[in-house]
């Protein structure tokens, strides 16, 4: 329960985590602004409870919980949740800074992944969590986390193959 973040280092630590945290939050909300709002609420809640900022599974679980709270509070957002869980989400804001067409195609393919696979992929690739940490954050087994990651990569590879 010791919060190692001080005024001097929280910004440094948070700036390292922020892009990945916002991308993680984007799995539940359509806009970048909503995702940042989720991250802000989660981070302040996390800080208020004196958690260690280096406890990444707990931090990502807090973001996930804040995102789900947000969409449950609002009926309109609840419809988005249904879309997310049915794997049909269409994002209004770009999630990635694509520099060429191939990256654009890859980003579109990621959007098409089933939610539970995309969630693990985001945590693994852009947040560099281990499968054990992902498992703890999502309350699944490490084997399930690893399987979802492999399924995600396989689906992307299949999607990107020339027709």
The site for another protein (CB under 8 A) is made up of: 3, 5-7, 10-11, 14-15, 18-23, 32, 36-37, 39-41, 43-44, 47-48, 73-74, 93-98, 102-103, 106-107, 110, 121, 125-126, 149-150, 153-154, 156-157, 160
At 63, list the tokens: 């973001």
For another protein, give the closer residue by CB, 41 or 116: 41
At 55, list the tokens: 């406890």
Least distance from another protein to the Cβ atom of residue 57, Å: 20
Q: What is the DSSP letter of 11?
A: H
At 69, list the tokens: 């709270």
Least distance from another protein to the Cβ atom of residue 151, Å: 11
Q: What span, in angstroms and rounded, lies between the C-alpha atoms of 104 and 108?
A: 6
Q: Alpha-carbon torsion 129, 21, 136, 113, what sign?
A: negative
Least distance from another protein to the Cβ atom of residue 152, Å: 10
């Amino acid at each position: 329960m010791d919060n190692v973040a001080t005024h001097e280092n929280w910004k440094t630590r948070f700036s390292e985590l922020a892009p990945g945290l916002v991308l993680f939050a984007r799995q539940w909300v359509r806009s970048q602004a909503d995702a940042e709002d989720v991250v802000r609420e989660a981070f302040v809640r996390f800080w208020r409870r004196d958690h260690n900022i280096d406890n990444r599974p707990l931090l990502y679980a807090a973001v996930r919980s804040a995102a789900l709270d947000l969409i449950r509070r609002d009926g309109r957002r609840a419809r988005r949740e249904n879309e997310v869980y049915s794997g049909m989400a269409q994002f209004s804001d770009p999630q990635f800074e694509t520099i060429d067409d191939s990256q654009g195609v890859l980003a579109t393919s990621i959007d098409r992944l089933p939610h539970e696979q995309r969630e693990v992929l985001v945590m693994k690739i852009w947040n560099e969590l281990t499968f054990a940490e992902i498992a703890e954050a999502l309350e699944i087994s490490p084997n399930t986390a690893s399987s979802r990651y492999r399924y995600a990569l396989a689906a992307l590879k299949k999607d990107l193959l020339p027709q």
